[in-house]
Structure 1
Amino acid sequence: MGSGKSTLAKAISNVTDIPFYDLDDLIVKDTDISISDFFKKHGEIAFRKKETEVLKALIESNERCVVALGGGTPCYANNLSLIKDSNSVTSVYLKLSLDALVNRLWGNKINRPLISHIESKQELNDFVRKHLFERSFYYNQADVILGCDAKTESELTKEISTELF
């Protein structure tokens, strides 16, 4: 969350002329309800089930595309296996420092269901630290791991495009 997945995936799509999808947008399209409202109405477990369903359908479509996953996507159900077992998928982990993530998220937390309730920057720091610790096992299995601190969107777009295409 907050690493720039959607922003960079769109930029890569523009540079390579390969279609871009945001997994959350595909879920919204499939359910006709915003992610925030889905969380409120059905809870995180139902969201994760829907996320797996949409991810699986996208991978099985074999469409060449650039996809921005949610930060929790590889950590739930068999999503990481779906990603790693597909010969047509290359995964990228955009690795940022704890401070960089907290600073990015603090100004936009109201739009993020998992952190909208957090009331202080220290509490957000604790939340992000906990999730990075819990998720690092999954994130570090990505095919490509990019350190993103102190790099511009343009630099990262070029680096990822060169690495993948």
Structure 2
Amino acid sequence: MAKNKVILAGFMGCGKSTIGRILAEKRGQELLDTDHYIEQKQGRSISDIFATQGEEVFRDMETEALRELIQKQEPMVIALGGGLPIGGNLYGEEPVRQRALLRGERNRELLAELGYVFYLKITPGEVYRRLKGDTTRPLLQTEDPYTRITELLQQRDMWYEKCADEIINVEGKNKWLIADEIIRKLSRIEQNRQSRTGETK
């Protein structure tokens, strides 16, 4: 199976879908957003899935989506849901936490098979500025969204870094320049991979 997907990971509001569209256009490839993929498959919104079936059911849907994407042979750009590399609520009750840890580990293994992961790193303040008033984000429906953003980002940062081939700081950067930076780094990764492959032949 070809490791031919460009994968964008990061917290909600970091620009995965926007930058993904630019990358897909520049590379002449399809953009697939895992949240939209699940919504289309289920015929309802992420918010509705959270409300009626709960977060754990949604997280299982994310893992299943990765398994399905591995079967697709064509190159593409993939924008991940913000919690996909983590696998669920790592700070919940013990059975929930254990399932999340196992799911997250499996998700990161699948991502490594699927392609090259770029973590779009952002600060809590910038996320809050971008998403303030957004009612479509289930995890931000709270009286103090800034504190919630800060807590979630602190919890998730190490897991984003763990699955990333490259980390891209997006704060204050033009989206087109971010896309160009990813393309440059991707080219270097692929060249290094080809060099290692050549050495082992």
User: What TM-score results when the alignment is normalised by the length of structure 1?
Assistant: 0.90
2:74 aligns with 63
Larger Rg: 2
**Matched residues in 2 for 1:135 and 1:62: separation?**
30
**Matched residues in 1 for 2:29 and 2:46: separation?**
25
Alignment of 1:20-99 (within 5 A): 20-76=31-87, 77=103, 78-84=106-112, 86=113, 88-99=114-125
Q: 1:151 aligns with which of 159, 173, 187?
A: 173
For 2:139, give the aligned amino acid: L
- CA deviations over 1:22-45 (Å, ceiling 9, x no partner): 001110121111111111111111
Name stretches of at least 5 consecutive residues in structure 2 with no aligned partner.
1-11, 88-102, 188-201
Displacement of 1:51 after TM fit? 1.0
Alignment of 1:118-137 (within 5 A): 118-119=142-143, 123-137=144-158
Displacement of 1:111 after TM fit? 1.4
For the aligned residue pairs, the C-alpha RMSD in angstroms reads: 1.3
* 3-state SS of paired residue (1:75): coil
Name stretches of at least 5 consecutive residues in structure 1 with no aligned partner.
none
User: What TM-score results when the alignment is normalised by the length of structure 2?
Assistant: 0.75
* 3-state SS of paired residue (1:125): helix
| Amino-acid identity (%) | 34
For 1:113, give the aligned amino acid: P
Displacement of 1:65 after TM fit? 0.6
Displacement of 1:58 after TM fit? 0.3
For 1:83, give the aligned amino acid: L
Flag as ranges the 4+ runs of structure 1 deviating above 3 A. Answer: none
